Amino acid sequence: DQQVKQNSPSLSVQEGRISILNCDYTNSMFDYFLWYKKYPAEGPTFLISISSIKDKNEDGRFTVFLNKSAKHLSLHIVPSQPGDSAVYFCAATWRGGGSNYKLTFGKGTLLTVNP
């Protein structure tokens, strides 16, 4: 039973255009959401996060939008660059567990940015 779903295994965009990666979740307890980027043969690295009290968080070219009523979040990358080509994982957690919290990850979306 997947609690965090990334329904698009892959996405291809042209350099300079917008990349939109989507994520849905089913657990209403989740109150904190994160995106990770992973290059081949490396560990995932933290990209951006958002608390459930917000609907948008921006960091440079990266913006995450959260729609709580739809249990949906998206990551926008503008403009996309070839170096953004990687697997992107959506993750979610409930902070009420204190130090006992765990991240639940989606299956990932492979983004390819073509020059």
Partner 1 sequence: NAGVTQTPKFQVLKTGQSMTLQCAQDMNHNSMYWYRQDPGMGLRLIYYSASEGTTDKGEVPNGYNVSRLNKREFSLRLESAAPSQTSVYFCASSEAGREEGYGYTFGSGTRLTVV
**Measured between alpha carbons, how far is 91 from 114 in angstroms, rounded to an integer?**
26
Q: In what helix (H) or strand (E) does residue 49 lie, and over which residues does it extend? A: strand 45-51
Contacting range for partner 1; rule: CB under 8 A; set: 20-28, 42-50, 52-60, 71-79: 42-50
- Find tokens 């992973």 and name the residue: 38
Contacting range for partner 1; rule: CB under 8 A; set: 16-24, 54-62, 69-77, 106-114: 106-114
Site string for partner 1, 44-83 (x = CB under 8 A): xxx--x----------------------------------
Which of 7, 9, 14, 54 is close enough to bind partner 1 by CB under 8 A? Answer: 9
**Measured between alpha carbons, how far is 40 from 53 in angstroms, rounded to an integer?**
34
Helix (H, G, I), strand (E, B) or coil at 103: coil
Percent helix / strand / coil, the chain, rounded to 5: 10, 50, 40
Residues in region 11-40 near partner 1 by CB under 8 A: 32, 34, 36
Binding site for partner 1 (CB under 8 A): 6, 9, 32, 34, 36, 41-46, 49, 89, 93, 95, 98-108
